[in-house]
Amino acid sequence: MYAARLAAKGKTAMAIKTRITEMLGIEHPIVQGGMMWVGRAELASAVSNAGGLGILTALTQPTPDDLRREIDRCRSMTDKPFGVNLTILPSVNPPPYAEYRRAIIESGIKIVETAGHKPQEHVDDFKGHGITVLHKCTAVRHAVSAVRMGVDIISIDGFECAGHPGEDDIGGLILIPAAADQVKVPILASGGVGDGRGLAAALALGADGINMGTRFCATQEAPIHDKVKQLIVENDERSTNLIFRKFHNTGRVAKTDVSDTVVEISARPDSVFTDIQPYVSGAKGRVALETGDIGAGLVWAGQIQGLIHDIPTCADLLKRIVDDAEEIINGRLSQFIASE
C-alpha cells in the first residue's frame, strides 16, 4: 500500500482535495449513492464517519414522518455531513413527494441528491432553503438542463451503472469528459467505479469525485443480507442483465434466475409489461435484499461487480480507495513523465 510505503520513509499520504470535498465539507471525494432499501442510517453514517458522504434514501421510508425519524437516527450515529436522496419517478399513484421534501427541509438536511423526472419544483424549494443539490443524470443534455435548473453538483451515470442508465448506452470513459466539457459545476463520476483506479481515472476525466452504489452494498455496514453481498462478490463484470429495454426504461440488475426470466419474457414479440410485473416489484426486491432469498426478486447491481472481491468495512474501503488513488497519481503515472 502507498500509505505504508510512505510511512516507512517517514512521510505521510496527501489527502485528495477537490471542489466536492470543499462544497460538501467531507474528507474524501467519495459519495454513497441513494439506493432503495439500502440507503439507511447504518450505511449512511458509516460512509460519513469514514470521511465520505453517506446518503439516506427518502422513499425507503414508508412515510415522511418515518424519514424524519431515520434522519434523527442517522444523526445519533454520526456528527459528519450526510445527505438524503429524493428520486422522482412518473407513477399512476406517486408518493407524496412534497411531504417528503418538507420532511427533509424541516429536519435541517443541508445536502440532497435528486434524481428522476422533472425535479424543478423540488430543486427550487431545496435551493430556497440553502440546501446543496446533487442531481443524478445519465446524459450530457440532462446535465446541462439540470445546471440551468440551479443544481450545484452533477452526478453523471455511465452505462455501466446499476439502476437506470438511460437509453443512450454511453460508458463513463466518454460520458464523464463529455459532461465536463459542457458543465462547469463539479461532477461526480458514477457507474463502474469501486476502487482507487476508478477514483484516479474519474479525476483524470474531469470529475471532482465519485459516486458508488454497488460497491457500498458489499460492505459490512450495508443493511442487506450476507447472501446478497456474497452474490456481488462472486459475480463478474458480465453478471448483469438489462431489463425494461423494450419499455424504454432500461434498468441494470444482477444476473439471477429472476432477471433471466424477465429478459426471456420481455424478448417475446407479444409481451407487455404486465407479463413481467410479478417478477419486478420493489416489494419482492426488498424481500431478496433482506432475507437473502435471491429468487424472491430483483437485485440491482452494476458491472463493477467484476472488481469487487471482498466485504470490508466502509472505513477500510474508503481508506483503500484513497490510498490506491494517491499511489496511482503520485507513483505509477508519474513514472511515465520523461525528464528532459
* Percent of the chain clearing pLDDT 90 (strictly above): 91
What value does the mean pLDDT of the chain take?
95
From CA 33, how far away is CA 240, in angstroms rounded?
19
Are 119 and 181 in the same domain?
A: yes
The answer on 204 and 246 residing in a single domain is no
- Region 204-231 average pLDDT: 98
Residue 47 lies in a domain: yes
Residue 105 in contact with residue 135, Cβ under 8 Å?
no
Q: Are residues 54 and 164 in the same domain?
A: yes
Q: Which domain holds residue 41?
A: 2-221
| Residue 275: strand, helix, or coil | helix
Residue 340 included in any domain = no
* 315 within domain boundaries: no
From the CB of residue 160, how many other CB atoms can be counted at a distance below 10 Å? 22
Which pLDDT belongs to residue 93? 85
Total count of residues recorded for the chain:
340
Q: Which helix (H) or strand (E) holds 241?
A: strand 240-243
| Contact indicator for 190, 161 with CB cutoff of 8 Å | yes
For 83-139, the pLDDT digits (tens) are 999 999 877 789 999 999 999 999 999 999 999 988 999 999 999 999 999 999 999
Which pTM does this prediction carry?
A: 0.94
Same-domain status, 232 and 189: no
Q: Which of 95, 47, 103 is nearest to 74 (CA)?
A: 47
Q: Over range 28-45, report the average pLDDT.
A: 97
Final residue in a domain of this structure, among 162, 197, 221? 221
Helix axes 273-280, 257-266, angle to 10 degrees: 170
Q: Tell me the CATH number at 141.
A: 3.20.20.70
Identify the CA nearest to 161 among candidates 138, 140, 178.
138
Q: How far is Cα 161 from Cα 174, in angstroms, rounded to an integer?
A: 14
DSSP 153: E
Q: Are residues 98 and 153 in the same domain?
A: yes
Q: Are residues 205 and 255 in the same domain?
A: no
**329 within a domain of the structure (yes/no):** no
Strand partners, 251: 243
Reference 187, options 18, 16, 327; nearest CA is 18
Residue 285 covered by a domain: yes
Chain centroid, CA 206 distance in Å: 18
Beta strands in 21-63 (DSSP E): 30-32, 54-57
From the list 241, 174, 214, 252, the residue with the least C-alpha distance to 33 is 214
Picking from 221, 247, 270, the residue at the C-terminal end of a domain is 221
Quote the number of domains for the chain: 2
Residue 271 lies in a domain: yes
Q: How high is the pLDDT of residue 11? A: 47
Residue 54 has pLDDT above 80, yes or no: yes
Which residue is associated with the grid cell 468495512? 313
Are 153 and 186 in contact by the 8 Å Cβ rule? The answer is yes
Question: Residues 189, 233: one domain?
Answer: no
Residues 127 and 256 in one domain: no
Residue 320: inside a domain? no
Q: Do 216 and 282 lie in a common domain?
A: no
Asked whether residue 256 falls in the same domain as residue 192, the answer is: no
The answer to whether residues 189 and 158 belong to one domain is yes
Q: Are residues 211 and 232 in the same domain?
A: no
